[in-house]
Structure 1
Amino acid sequence: MTQTLGKSLELFFIDGRPDGILTAEVFNWTGHVLMTPRTRIADALKRDEAAHTGVYLLLGERDGEPLAYVGESDNIRKRITQHDVQKDWWETAVLVTTSANNLNKAHVRYLEARLVAKAKEVGRVPLDNGTAPAAMGLTESARANMEAFLDYLWMVLPALRIDMFLQHAKPKGAASVAATVASGPVFELVNKKHGLHARASLIDGEFVVLEGSTARLTWASAAQNQHSYAHMRDDLEKAGILSPQGPVCVFTASYAFSSPSAAAAIVNGRPANGRIEWHVPGTQQTYHAWEAANLAAQVPSDEDFE
């Protein structure tokens, strides 16, 4: 059995403020990430790495909806200076380069194409890009190197609260989902009043509602339409994860939520305490009770150390 090794992410807050300019690096990774608010863009672009070859993200909102742009350049400083004039909606810039400036034009075109494709696949944040670039011009070994580079980037960006590349929908027939469901634990939420039956499982630390589960057709209260879970539900419908079918919505794919309560809210169409609404099938044991029992069974007590 292969042991998964942890990785150390180093964040450096250049001006000593959590909302200012920061850099992110991982030990033994050649990549370098510089993140800056637009209000500090002049200071950020003075740094040496801003003139390196790399890819960049512009993040912000337009008409109250999130928006992003993915680009590449052999001189990011020059390209973002142009965007500062041409694009007025972005509020944050993320520059991805290498400390030794050893990416070339073919490398960053490949990275740009993969980032655009991944963002569109996930569908969480629309892109301001006009056309999707093609990933081309690299040898097999160079593509492998860039995929390894991206593996680190997929980890670093969510750590910076950039989740537009984070895939919560699980592929149909995913082996990890099938294996976990077969071995348990599986939980269910039954709402007889609205004819709902949802199943979920803990997979790699995420609470995953399983494909085929049903959810309420609409959000329950117009007065709560501004609730964050109401917006999440709208996003899931737009992405096709929730599909209206008769009197209910059906999960067309297994989907990972941050908590049992988030999952219960989407299923019930209202805020809900998922720790008591999810149960072990065929019993009255709530998720809360199951978690407490599981914790007691696995975590050593103080007496074990005496």
Structure 2
Amino acid sequence: MAVRGKSINLFLMDGEASGRIKCTLANWTGVAYRIPRTALDLCKERNDLKQSGVYFLFGTSDQTGNNVVYIGQAGARKNGEGLLYRLQEHKRNPDKDYWTEAVVFTTSNNSFGQTEISYLENRFCGLALAANRYDIKNGINPTQGNITEEKESELEEFVDYARIVMGTLGHKVFEPLISVSAISGSAPAHSAPYHNRSGSATFSHPSAL
């Protein structure tokens, strides 16, 4: 079967590529934002960022110089706060001063509940670990929760679209590295865990192309 093209809409919210970007796809209810850490306060009036969703914090490790990512979820709260409030909490947290921009996923119809965001957080963490391209800053492995096969099929479709969007926004967190050892035919190097400043386990990747 021939691969079909995808129509992606990128809206430069600040009129420049280095600013905030809103990303949508045709026939997809998902909405993604790339938000520089310094631009969080500009998002206060966006109602869709007060919803539930999953987010990624991207940055660089001070110790290793490697690309790092933290993957989390945020549920909408009774006070009307959701994703943006959680990002602002991370901005104030000195243990998470490594990140420079966030990518968040939510929906245009506010359809995410706790079941959906727990499943997506688990799947995104698994995909990022399998790709072995970024050091994962999550201290614990998020639980997937219990879902029906119908809901799983629906969410896997969301994951497929999210992977396309993430690459479009400039982060290859889901794209596996090709190691030098794999190309040469020698035994692959194994990634080794190390500990960040807060003591939680993260994972370093082997040298790769």
TM-score exceeds 0.5:
yes
Q: Deviations over 1:61-95 (max 9, x none)?
A: 12122211000011112211111111211100111
> Taking structure 1 as the reference length, what is the TM-score of the superposition?
0.56
Pick from 98, 109, 114: which aligns with 1:105? 114
User: What is the match of residue 58 of structure 1?
Assistant: 57
Higher RCO structure, 1 or 2 (CA under 8 Å, sep 6+): 2
Unmatched tracts of structure 2, length 5 or more: 76-81, 193-207
CA RMSD of aligned residues (A): 2.3
Question: Within 5 Å, which residues of 2 pair with 1:29-68?
Answer: 29-63=28-62, 64-68=65-69
Check the 8 A contact 1:57/1:70 in 2, yes or no: yes
User: What is the match of residue 269 of structure 1?
Assistant: none
User: What is the match of residue 303 of structure 1?
Assistant: none
Question: Within 5 Å, which residues of 2 pair with 1:1-306?
Answer: 2-63=1-62, 64-74=65-75, 75-86=82-93, 87-169=96-178, 213-214=184-185, 237=189, 239=191
Task: Give the letter aligned to residue 116 of structure 1.
Answer: C
Q: Deviations over 1:205-233 (max 9, x none)?
A: xxxx9957358xxxxxxxxxxxxxxxxxx
**CA distance in 2 between partners of 1:41 and 1:138 (Å):** 33
Q: Deviations over 1:104-143 (max 9, x none)?
A: 1110000000011111111111111110112122111001
**CA distance in 2 between partners of 1:237 and 1:112 (Å):** 27
1:212/1:25 CA distance change after superposition, 3 Å: closer
Shift of 1:238: 5.5
Give 3-state SS (helix, strand or coil) of 1:152's partner: helix
Check the 8 A contact 1:21/1:44 in 2, yes or no: no
1:47/1:13 CA distance change after superposition, 3 Å: same
Check the 8 A contact 1:12/1:23 in 2, yes or no: yes
Shift of 1:37: 0.7
**CA distance in 1 between partners of 2:39 and 2:166 (Å):** 20
**CA distance in 2 between partners of 1:14 and 1:212 (Å):** 41
Q: Deviations over 1:11-52 (max 9, x none)?
A: 000110100001011000111001111111111243111101
Check the 8 A contact 1:7/1:26 in 2, yes or no: yes
Could you tell which deviates more after superposition, 85-94 or 44-53?
Answer: 44-53
User: What is the match of residue 78 of structure 2?
Assistant: none
**CA distance in 1 between partners of 2:46 and 2:112 (Å):** 17
> Taking structure 2 as the reference length, what is the TM-score of the superposition?
0.80
Q: Once superposed, which parts of structure 1, at least 4 consecutive aligned residues long, lie more than 4 Å away? A: 209-212, 236-240
Unmatched tracts of structure 1, length 5 or more: 171-208, 216-235, 241-256, 258-265, 267-306
